Amino acid sequence: MDTTYDPALLFVLPGFLLLISILTRVPIIFVASVGIGMIVLLRWMALDGSYRTTKRRLRLAQTYADHYVLAEDLDYPCQQLLRRAQNAVEVILNSKVHRAGLIDTIDNQVTLPEEVWQIAQRLRKLSSMHAEHGKLIPRELPPGMEDAFRPYTSALDAAWTSLSQRVRHLEKYAKQVIKTDKVYRTHQRLEALAAKTPEYQQLIAETVHDQLAHQHIKELADQAAHARKLFEESITQARQAAGALLRTPLT
């Protein structure tokens, strides 16, 4: 465990040593020498502790380098693509229908973060290979040599296209979840009204002509059923949007 030293000690110590000199009548030069030695010792210990802490952190960073991806590891296009994937997953996990457990909550909590991690790892590798590719391929190729380099460029392009498509699937899922969230909020309000349907039916029956009353009462019942059907269809669509994505993890 490293010890942290308060810099204020460097100001308090000289005064304390002067007080000792006065009380013990020891020559001030001797006391000052001891004090300087103590200050140097404290300073060395503080720097040594800081050095050891930094060294330990660097060692941990090297040990677990495969467990995280930094923005600096990615080129700009890959950074943007990863940000889109993260935003889509954030939308899904923060949605009301997810929190209510209506769209495969367990799968979302486990699979979606893993999906982003897999995308991040592949983008890191792709960024590295992009940089290497740019260094190896001459800006001006001799005539007839273009075809020799084309398969390598095509491989990078294919990897980028695949990852982009994967992120678009995530975004499609997120958009459907947003739509479902809106339907869910509306459905909750309609459910509150539906609980009062008997009161509305009684009001109509008491105040409207019999023939019209039956029509209005039927409309109330049909509207409640229609609202529930729309909500159920929206939930089904959200699950379908996630289905193919979650059934084929990017591993």
Spatial separation of the C-alpha atoms in residues 238 and 107, rounded to whole Å:
13
For the stretch 211-220, pLDDT in tens is: 565 665 566 6
* Higher pLDDT pick, 102 / 106: 102
Q: What residues contact 146, with CB distance under 8 A and at least 6 apart?
A: none
Q: What is the pTM of this model?
A: 0.63
* Higher pLDDT pick, 20 / 103: 103
Percent of the chain at pLDDT above 70?
59
> What pLDDT band is residue 92 in, cutting at 50, 70 and 90?
very high
Question: What does pLDDT average to over the chain?
Answer: 75
**Which residue type sits at 105?**
T
Q: How many CB atoms lie within 10 A of CB 182?
A: 12
pLDDT at 101 over 60: yes
Average pLDDT over residues 75-104: 91
pLDDT at 3 over 50: no
The per-residue pLDDT for 136 is 80
> What pLDDT band is residue 90 in, cutting at 50, 70 and 90?
very high
